[in-house]
């Protein structure tokens, strides 16, 4: 599904807190204006933060359920070439999520991620709400 949308993952960091997700225009994901479909951009914003939180907490011996609660995308410019999202979870964000889950059983983390090109031109801004629930 991701390849049809022109989405592919770059290299993860060892602690799963950084990931670059590429989005490239190709024949299967272009709209009538010959730029990348908005749905492809939203698809590139959707699943990666929950996966990162899941893997980062598993690495620390903590078992959670996690999913994207919501995604909203503000489209700035049409994507006519290669663009990417740089996902980053800071140590403070991860520790706050763990502490809140231990205290309340759940946590919602909000991230704002820019979709940019190599010249740092912003094509879209995604707001991703990640819901996490601690397993007892």
- 94-118: pLDDT as tens digits: 999 999 999 999 999 999 999 999 9
In a domain, 83, yes or no: yes
Q: Tens of pLDDT along 3-22?
A: 667 788 898 999 999 999 99
Total domains in the fold of the chain: 1
Other CB atoms within 10 A of residue 3 CB:
10
Between residues 20 and 28, the one the model is more confident about: 20
Q: Which of the two residues, 54 and 26, has the higher pLDDT score?
A: 54
In a domain, 2, yes or no: no
- Give residue 32's domain range: 7-134
Is 55 within the bounds of a domain? yes
The label of the residue with tokens 């740089």 reads 86
CA angle, 40 as apex, 36 and 42 as ends, to 5°?
A: 120
- Asked whether residue 49 is assigned to any structural domain, the reply reads yes
Asked if residue 1 is part of any domain, the answer here is: no
Contact 68, 127 (CB under 8 A): no
Domain CATH code at residue 24: 3.10.129.10
Query: Is residue 44 a part of any domain in this protein?
Result: yes
Does the residue 75 lie in any domain? Answer: yes
């Amino acid at each position: 599904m991701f390849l049809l949308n022109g989405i592919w993952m770059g290299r993860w960091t060892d602690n799963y807190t950084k990931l670059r997700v590429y989005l490239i225009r190709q024949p299967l994901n272009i709209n009538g204006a010959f730029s990348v479909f908005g749905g492809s951009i939203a698809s590139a914003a959707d699943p990666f933060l929950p996966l990162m939180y899941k893997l980062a907490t598993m690495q620390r011996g903590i078992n959670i359920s996690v999913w994207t609660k919501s995604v909203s995308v503000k489209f700035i410019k049409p994507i006519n070439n290669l663009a990417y999202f740089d996902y980053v979870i800071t140590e403070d964000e991860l520790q706050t999520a763990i502490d809140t889950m231990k205290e309340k059983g759940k946590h919602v983390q909000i991230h704002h991620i820019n979709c940019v090109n190599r010249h740092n031109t912003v094509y879209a801004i995604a707001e991703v709400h990640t819901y996490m629930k601690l397993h007892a």
